[in-house]
Structure 1
Amino acid sequence: MLITTKRSTTCTLHTMNHRLLYVSVDMSGQIKLNHWSQATRSCQIIYAQPDDPCNTPAACGPFTVCRGNPNPSCDCMESFSQKSPQDWKVQDRTGGCIRNTPLHCISDKNITSSTDMFQPIAQVTLPYNPQIIAVASTQSECEETCLGSCSCTAYSYNDSKCSVWNGELLSVTRNDGIEYTSKDVIYLRLAAKNFMPSLRKNKRKPNVGVVTAASIIGFGLLMLMLLLLIWRNKFKWCGFLPLYYDNQGSVGGIIAFRYTDLVRATKNFSEKLGGGGFGSVYKGVLSDAKTTVAVKRLDGVRQGEKQFRAEVSSIGLIQHINLVKLVGFCCEGDHRLLVYEHMLNGSLDRHLFKKSNNVDTVVLNWNTRYQISLGIARGLSYLHQSCRECIIHCDIKPESILVDASFVPKVADFGLAAFVGRDFSRILTSFRGTIGYLAPEWLSGVAITPKVDVYGFGMVLLEVISGRRNSSPEISHNTKSSRNSYQHHEYFPVQAIRKLHGGDVKSLVDTQLHGDFDLEEAERVCKVASWCIQDGEFDRPAMSEVVRVLEGLQEIDMPPMPRLLAAIVEQSDAATSMY
């Protein structure tokens, strides 16, 4: 039996087992195989083609957006209404939608003027029959092309390709993340009036309940502000920090400690680990009796505040295996304390420059020194290139490098750090750092770049190789005759580059290693160090390049003698010739 109506065509079939089947074709063109269920006394769909109703061409009619299974859900586009609501009620959407406000477009003697605007519809499939505009190379040109034609109803600019549509827009489907995954955006042309905010025509009389509730809320907010002012006064100067406490005082991954807690953890600051220009570091144990920490107590309200902000703003927001971890802080009254993970082996200088009273330190073997050098390079590379803002440490030296129980290096002491936005390449900042590790540009007063850290790293590398301070004098003896002898002091970086050029790197390596080292690695480290301490910042490598070289993934050329060091060499040679 074949039944045809205005809205569908149905063919009824009787099978051998008296099962009633029928095939229907609805107004959208989707074919469905149905059967009558006596149990539920309803029709059930066995098969449909196409499977997704939105795959049927123009399933929802013009100026609509279709969403698929289980049933096609058709929505009118922005500022459009159903053309025939009666038809939509009986699932006939083929008439689609019509504009609420006509477009304003005047064309006269090849001159077109329009005040229309465009509304973006994101993550949809683009309509049928686009017209490609090859001459439009930018989105603004594509938009102007559409406005230049009164028949143009939409445009799209994706992957540097301009497409426009004239007349009705058909088969626009919303991205559902399953069947449809389009990321395209179509810009729908609308009258300018559609973008004007609607005016409220009816004014309501104030509701007593609403007024009462608003008064109560306002009073509550006022009391909250007073409490915040009291709290802010207690934790003075800490307003710049994102202090969101949980029940254990956790603040975005780090802990905000009370001063009394740290006094108790350090046993009233009784076990001092070390000290510097900004304060002293004490050993402590947290309340869990398991976590050992290093507590830095900053001295001086003004200078301590500056270093406190620098450290929390830098190392407090990032994590890397070669950067020391900030466990927490204390910002209470005038107290400024920083709590770090405890590094069992202390700072690198204790192991490089062994003193007679440091009986607990051991001589670092060559492999440990090489891995320490590589770890420092990775940490600095992360600071320079992988953070949201470029962080310049500004004080790289052995005292700023901590080593854990396995001698994994951790860059520490961020009190002098400077921040450079990714839109900038350098920053003008006050003079800072430590003599012996200062790049030449610090002395010239120009804006600095991450290359000041590269220079300091190069100086540290030379000290890792030699096991001695670069600035300590090397006493040499050279006899010109049996009656005359002399001794002079030679700056170690000068000596290092000289012997590198002469192929005598072996004599630069720490004598405490007794020749037990990899000569190829020693030459590689010496070359990297020599490039890092070049006078010109543009001659120094980036830390990412240093990492690749130390990992053996990139070769490096023989470095020249820096000009400043060359001047020292000339003075040294002149002094030699006088004897």
Structure 2
Amino acid sequence: MGLQSLLLHLFWVATTVEALASQPPVTTKPGCPDKCGNVSIPYPFAIGDSCTIRGGGFNISCNATFNPPKPFWGELEVLDITLLSGLMRILNYIGYRCYTNTGKLDFVWKNWMNLDESQPFTFSETHNKLTAIGCDTIASITGFWGRDFKSGCMSFCNDRNSVINGSCSGIGCCQTAIPNAFKSFEVTLDSVSNHKNVSSFNPCSYAFLVENDAFSFNESDLIGFHFLDRSESVPVVLDWAISNETCEMARKDSASFACVSENSTCYESTNGFRCNCSEGYEGNPYLIGGCQDIDECNENDVKKLCQQNCINLPGNYSCSCWKGYHGLYDDQRECIKDTHKFPAVAVVLGIGLSLLVIFTGSSSSYWVWRKRKLIQLKEKFFQQNGGLLLQEKISSGQSSTQTFKIFTIEELKKATNNYDKSQIVGQGGSGTVYKGILPDNKLVAVKKSKLMDETQIEQFINEVHVLSQINHRNIVKLLGCCLEAEVPILVYEFISNGTLSQHIHGEGYEGYASSISLENRLRIATEAAGALYYLHSATSTPIFHRDVKSANILLDNNFMAKVSDFGASRLVPLDHTRITTLVMGTWGYLDPEYHQTGQLTGKSDVYSFGVVLVELLTGEGPISSTRSQDNRSLSNYFLTSMKENRLFEILEERVRNEGEEEQLMSIAQLAKRCLKLKGEERPTMKEVVVELEGLRRFHEHPWEPKKNEESENLLGEPGPSQGYTSNASCEYSVDSRTLSALEIGR
């Protein structure tokens, strides 16, 4: 009788589930339209106030003047709405900035969009990118409401033949990712030479926020702005939520809680909470009866799992065997024909003991196997990252290793408390820097990079070899590396007082910006210039830094400058004055000649240092949206002010008060020469150092000697009292005037 009751119950369940599954899915409230033209409008979105969920801005209007009709969210056309992922695709306009063939601004159309600040809609971080098109184009995006940020990219090319179809890597087209949780943005455009050299085939710059896969670059896009299927508009993806509350907060108001369907769940996204159907159900969780059972028995994967019978259950399914067969396992997925009858207890006991033996043996084997795989993986990474080559250099005496160490991955995990977030002291495009403490209580900076080009391993090891030998007091010391991780980890000495950028602009150092005197600014500039000159000329293999900026000049507790971050630096063969590289650097500091030609020289570092020198004079950032469109970059702003004789209007107040007019003008003229567009017209780093040292003595009498710990001669051989040690050395021929004018720490 019990078996008969069970079979009747299963039959009733299967019949009920089949009846529910046969019903069409519910997507909107009764009596409300579920489509506008070809676009489905699922609840909580709806056409008409009475059909939408209360609040939240889910009202859609259907414009029937189009054929077929088109849905609009406010003034924005809607392309698609998805419940499961919480996305809405809309159309937005393209921004452009066009010039005549003489370089005169012709017309401008800005790309911007504002969402309602009170509504839980944000621009999707994972589905959109800022995209810019043009051969002389600088695009920036400024975000507001929810997250304030600034970002951008640059695109250059000499002719149409140099661009690569389908590639947005900075040649004719560039793209950059955006952060999450912002509700408003403005895209602005700028150019270096107003398209004078490229106007014949590219008179305009274009920029827009666009869905990741909705745009593919083609060289014909440089001609005009009607380059997309939708003419002057592009799709943008929004993340939406029911409200900006958490699930716990929303459940407190049970009468209006949005997840009303049985078998629905609440989950939280970046901008609020949304609903979904429970596992085994599908449909609309925002409507009563909206989540309906999935008939898993109709799915091919389940059909393969159930060897004989499949029974659909609410939210699930079960397998059963035909008469005369029994399940090999409890779930009856695999069935075997009945042959012998064994007592059930004996069968269960036998299976249990067998499983116990198998589990115990498997566990031991697994942990042995896992430990062996970890060792093999570390060995693989060590060899892949050039560990054998580095060991060969060390054993052959090619590297000065008195202080350089090859760390194990366990040592660095322990030093950084397993790379705890609280240990992060810096983050950038190339990696993350953690504060670490070695067993001897020595503080170190541990840099985990994001990427490593396997084809450049030998180059990387050579750079580590050269950088490990640098022992200059104004250059951050490389103490060691770890090659057992997928990407090599570098270990530097820890500099405790932040970056020059933080002290100039007050980023996290409130009050420090005004505390840097002109004398200290000149000293810091001279020390940094001396370090760069040393890298260019005094090492055994010349080094171009390639990312000189105030954020890469650290300050110790005595405010001594320390040049850091050699992640982008390149070694230069002794018989070369320039090398061709993939363009790298930071927007606002990047040498425009290097960016256009890819030819890296020592003068590229001189240009970037010139921007740092202007920062020290003005206290302004390298890029600022508060300045006019033509003066967004600090270099343009400074050079324009110099041309219009407005230098003293843009100087920082303390600099203006402490400096003599002649001295300040001389510093500005030096910065101006560093920022020449043609590298051959810029001074060398040696000339920059000499001139800065002369400017530091502006108020001193030539017969009054000055002796302090900085009075060491960079250009001559180090004396025995200087305490300078390095395997890299070089001799120079310098006239007596240079020697008497030059003092710099080494």
TM-score by length of 2: 0.39
Larger Rg over CA atoms = 1
